[in-house]
Amino acid sequence: DQQVKQNSPSLSVQEGRISILNCDYTNSMFDYFLWYKKYPAEGPTFLISISSIKDKNEDGRFTVFLNKSAKHLSLHIVPSQPGDSAVYFCAAFTGGTSYGKLTFGQGTILTVHP
Amino acid sequence: KAGVTQTPRYLIKTRGQQVTLSCSPISGHRSVSWYQQTPGQGLQFLFEYFSETQRNKGNFPGRFSGRQFSNSRSEMNVSTLELGDSALYLCASSSAGAPYNEQFFGPGTRLTVL
């Protein structure tokens, strides 16, 4: 039962353009959503998060949008840079007694071409 | 501040053996979570420890166990290894005081079972 889904295994973007990574979820109990970036041979690195009571959170070049009615979130990277090339995971957290448990999507490989 | 460290980084074992992986969290972090990453299943939550107590557990067989020491360092053990246990094992630490579960990941231990 895949509660968090990233339906695009890969995305290719030109440097300077916008990258949009998408994520869908099925569990309406999720109340925090996070995006992580992962380079080969390294652990995931936290990028940005959003609470379920918000619909947008911005941090520099990264913006996350949440559409609760559609159970959909997206990460926008503007402008994209070659160093952004990595695997991006969205993750969700239910809070309460779900200590430590993040539910991850399968990841999207982003390639930014110079 | 030093990041999360995991040892060893690479490990090769044969079926039926057991293995112990170690994780040292960021100084001051008291929560340690473990994840298994495989190509087919993605990142899956194993368990979480806080102050030497397991607070949460994922859907893995009893062959997977863990513990946490008084200095917050954690170990996970897999007994009677199976080929399907080949994976990247990631640990993540958090302060557990944040409203959401921002976790800081180590580089992982790559386990290969032959």
pLDDT score of A2: 81
* Percent of chain A with pLDDT strictly greater than 70: 99
Q: State chain A's mean pLDDT as an integer.
A: 94
C-alpha distance from B28 to closest chain A C-alpha (Å): 16
With contacts defined as CB-CB under 8 Å, which chain A residues touch B26? none
**Which pairing describes strands B19-24 and A108-113: parallel, antiparallel, or unpaired?**
unpaired
Q: Which long-range contacts (CB under 8 A, 24 or more apart) does B27-31 make?
A: B27/B1, B27/B2, B28/B95, B29/B72, B29/B93, B29/B94, B29/B95, B29/B96, B29/B104, B30/B72, B30/B95, B30/B96, B31/A99, B31/A100, B31/B93, B31/B94, B31/B95, B31/B96
Please report how many Cα atoms fall inside a 13 Å half-sphere around the Cα of residue A80, on the Cβ side. 21
> Touching check for A102 and chain B: CB below 8 Å?
yes
pLDDT score of B98: 57
With contacts defined as CB-CB under 8 Å, which chain B residues touch A41? 107
Q: Minimum mean pLDDT among A93-102, B33-42, B82-91: which range?
A: A93-102
User: Using one digit for the tens of pLDDT, what is the confidence trace for A15-55?
Assistant: 999 999 999 999 999 989 999 999 988 899 999 999 999 99
